[in-house]
Chain A
Amino acid sequence: MYRLGIDVGGTNTDAVVMAGRSVLSGVKTATTEDVTSGVIEALETAIAKAEVDRSKITYVMIGTTHFTNAVIERRHLSPVAAIRLGLPATACLPPMVDWPEDLRKAIGGHRYLVRGGHEFDGREIAALDLDEIDRIASDIRVKGIEAVAISSVFSPINGAMELAARKRLLESCPGLRVVVSSDIGRIGLLERESAAIMNASLLELSSRTVEAFRSALQAAGLSCPFFITQNDGTLMGAEAVREFPVLTFASGPTNSMRGAAFLTGETDAIVVDIGGTTTDIGAIQRGFPRQASTVVDIGGVRTNFRMPDVFSIGLGGGSLVRRGPDGSVSVGPQSVGYRITKEALVFGGATMTTTDIAVAAGKVSIGEAAAVSSLDRDLVESSIAEIKRMLERGVERSRISPEPIPVIAVGGGSILMPSRLGDLTVIRPENFAVANAVGAAIAQVSGEVDRIFSLANGLTREDCLRQAEEEAREKAIRSGALASTIETIEREDVPLAYLPGNATRIHVKVVGEMGGIDA
């Protein structure tokens, strides 16, 4: 029984074959324009290297940054009609009001406001105006728009109006792709609505991409189900990704952090991923990345996805090292990036980089050590101290408690990492280069509930938490989790400030091992 993990990034496609907890093989190949051929090359090489029987591969897990990149680059986006149910409320800020102009143009800027929506306590703001939905349907037909995003005020509490509007639209426009915001986000209208609109604009691309994955696996003779990792490091079935591509937006850093934690066997740690230009730092709690509490900006749009709380500092293997007139040393944020193999001193170039400093200090042997042997010792030592200081600051910022937890160093630039940072020990896993693909291969299944509960009719906080947990379990099981392995990893309730004591926002998340459903 084997698992195949694949990570499709903007530059590289990586694959690993795993048996239980061990990595049998890991390979790195270039991502191709058609996606399919790159995936085939990566998985064929990985399978060959692992020397396993491919009929014994039971699951394929894929991580991809394809959809994030589409939004950031404004490519492959379809026109969307954004319909909001909420009038008379919300009239002053129509959908996409805070989007960058170029992105709004890229998807057409079609927006409609309709009477409807709910209050925080479940009352209707207004009855849903179905006549208006019919008028919008004919407008959509005339304009030839094929994707729609529907948002409704407080739909995370009551999503019925979004569903009713979708049904009505489909009656007159069968074949329309319709996304409802309550399937995607949490309280916070603009952020949830923006996510639904982006999702609708990606549906065509997600169909094509999922198809590309499917045909790559078929071509390789793999008939087992395949899954794609989402923002929180857990899995979605391929069909779910076809419907909800935005839920993969942060899977890149998540997989890398989860993979790093797995490779070291640590469940509570700080992961430091040092690349060529930047270092990404984040914390792992109980095996999952700690999530950001602030809004996350994607391609210039505010969203309220639960994303890993990763922050970047301008330090990498290609960072420029310079000495100021007063003798002080500065490192980064400028970097030679991928040109390091031409421009760094040890590669015969003329630019002093952090890699040159590491070589000069004898920490690693790369390129021509002679090219840096004449570097001033003071300069080397101050640079090493500065790099350590930058990493220490970053790690301190990610620490969530005074408990000493390990620091896991991954990425090509991890030669810059000292063996200790302050009171913390540094661990370097072996297969660090393919941590992303490992993160995908080990992903679990989750179920999540986040909404406002009313403590009316004698219901207690505990009753509501239990109800939320039950709903989350059901969601996880529907997504393929084995019931016996499900555990609750997040459980919080936040009473709402300035409202009477009968409203509380509950967030519960459960995870379990992948059981086996058809995808």
Chain B
Amino acid sequence: MLDTSAGFLVDEGRLDALEIGAAVLGTGGGGNPYIGKLRAREALRQGYVMRVIPLEALPDDAVVVSVGGIGAPLVSHERIKQGSEGLRCVRALEKHLAISVDAIVCEEIGGQNAMEPLITASMAGLPVVDCDGMGRAFPEMQMTTFSIFGHCSTPSVMCDPHGNAVIFEHAISEKWHERMARACVVAQGGASTLASAPMSGRFLKQYSIPQSYSQAIRLGEAVVAARQAHADPIRAICDSENGEVVFRGKIVDLKRKIEGGFVRGTVMVQGFDGYEGQVGSVLIQNENLVFSRDGVAEVVVPDLIVILDIDTGAAITTEMLRYGQRVAVLALPCHPLLRSEAALEVVGPRGFGLDLAYRPMGRAEKERKPS
């Protein structure tokens, strides 16, 4: 049986913290969590309860479904969701597979997809598991640890605001699922919600990135506390996440273009505050992929590269980067699961078409501090 008193409740303060933390873990991409936060806040004000339970509280045979938004961020800021898309996805999946779902899980903690699982779960009266499939943001569906470690994400259900529900019965590969899902999103108006085939508690305990929600919230709370105390929020993020400031400087050049639906480019940073005479650069493809110092790659995807405003500590998304911004480049170690050979095939440099070997960042061997 699922212990429904385990874990913690999410209140409005924690939603605000999650918004900040999810933006940091978005590593430049993942979409803006603002609209999602407003929706979650409205759900709380309507009396829905949001509970996050630890992985350990999940029985091995628990039935867990991942829920997230899929589509163009611009559309989701204009044609806001009806609100129950996620719930309808879960109900349709339950009916189709004749199952009863025990908990909801997040695919991507970085960016706007951090919020949907909380909203859907609260409406379904279910808990959200404190984990996710990326520990950050990635641009495509198959880039989750779930898919990488053998979970087949079909049958899945996609819902839109109108009440349409589409079942993807079977995809011969995760890439095919992604491809068909994108086509369907366009037909449904450019921003839909997707629930993927159920996973077992046992699978998640082995193959998910643990403590994603508590980490993102802790991170956001550290930033809020630092701002209130007029302390350095960047220091707070490092301390909270075992991260490292790898560069400080001013953006002196910025190249960006859209290719195949992705924002690609490079940002050059001229060093100061101890980095004088050095040039840092960050390679971008929706998210920040590679940080190099004087032309030598130092931090490489899937390790997290975050560009922060030096004064406010706010994470800057790739589309908001501008010449002259004073930034700190922060590196956070990714979870060991993403450093496995199987994962690096998909989310390592070669997964993004880069001719570069993955080298774990500085404190690679040290595992993340448990909270």
Contacts and interface: CB of A to CB of B under 8 A. Distances in A.
Interface string B73-102: 111011111110000000000000000000
A89 B162 CA distance: 7
A499 B79 contact: no
Nearest to A84: B80
B81 to A, nearest CB: 6
A49 to B, nearest CB: 41
B189 A396 contact: no
B325 A187 contact: no
A288 to B, nearest CB: 17
A399 B323 contact: yes
Nearest to B75: A120
B79 A89 contact: yes
Given A497-B258, A499-B190, A93 B320 contact: no
Interface string B237-277: 00000000000001010000010011100000000000000
A120 B80 contact: no
A89 B161 contact: yes
A90 B189 CA distance: 13
A400 B323 contact: yes
B35 interface: yes
Interface string A480-519: 0000000000000011111110000100000000000000
A366 interface: no
Contacts of B42: 92-93, 97
A90 B163 CA distance: 13
B74 A397 contact: no
Nearest to B260: A501
A interface, size bucket: 35 or more
Contacts of A495: 258
A399 B325 CA distance: 9
B151 interface: no
Given A92-B39, A92-B83, A497 B261 contact: yes
Contacts of A93: 35, 38-39, 42, 80
B324 A90 contact: no
Nearest to B46: A92
B326 interface: yes
B186 interface: yes
Contacts of B189: 89, 119-121, 123, 125
Contacts of A494: 258
A491 B320 CA distance: 19
B78 A396 contact: no
Nearest to A504: B258
Contacts of A499: 72, 75, 186, 190, 261
B261 A187 contact: no
A123 B163 CA distance: 16
B106 to A, nearest CB: 19
A138 interface: no
A187 B77 contact: yes
Majority-rule SS of B interface residues: mixed
Interface in B139-162: 161-162
B350 interface: no
Contacts of B83: 91-92
Contact of B79 (A117, A294, A393): A117
B323 A497 contact: no
B179 to A, nearest CB: 12
Contact of B320 (A119, A293, A496): A293
Contact of A90 (B80, B186, B261, B325): B80
B324 A89 contact: no
Interface string A79-95: 00000001111111100
Q: Which of the listed residues A87, A119, A187, A397 has the most CB atoms from chain B within 10 Å of its own CB?
A: A119
B78 A498 contact: no
A367 to B, nearest CB: 33
Interface string A338-382: 000000000000000000000000000000000000000000000
Interface in B16-73: 35, 38-39, 42-43, 71-73
Interface residues of B, number: 38
B257 to A, nearest CB: 9
A88 B162 CA distance: 6
B72 A498 contact: yes
B38 A496 contact: no
A244 B146 CA distance: 52
Interface in A287-307: 293-294
Contacts of A121: 189-190
Contacts of B252: 402
A103 interface: no
A189 interface: yes
Nearest to B37: A98
Nearest to A395: B324
A505 B80 CA distance: 19
A154 interface: yes
B322 interface: yes
A98 B79 contact: no
A326 B39 CA distance: 49
Interface centre among A91, A117, A398 (most CB of B within 10 A): A91
B182 interface: yes
Contacts of A98: 38
A324 B72 CA distance: 51
Contacts of A396: 250, 324, 326
Contacts of A91: 82-83, 161
A9 B75 CA distance: 38
A154 B38 CA distance: 20
Contacts of B80: 86, 89-90, 92-93, 153, 189-190
Contact of B74 (A88, A187, A294, A399): A187
Nearest to B77: A188
B109 to A, nearest CB: 19
A153 B78 contact: yes
Contacts of A117: 79
Given A90-B82, A91-B83, A497-B286, 4 more contacts: A117-B79, A121-B189, A189-B77, A396-B250
5 contacts: A86-B80, A89-B82, A120-B72, A497-B258, A499-B190
Q: Nearest 9 pairs between A and B by C-beta? A: A92-B83, A89-B161, A90-B80, A498-B72, A119-B189, A495-B258, A399-B324, A88-B82, A120-B190
Interface of A: 86-93, 97-98, 117, 119-121, 123, 125, 153-154, 187-190, 293-294, 393, 396-402, 494-500, 505
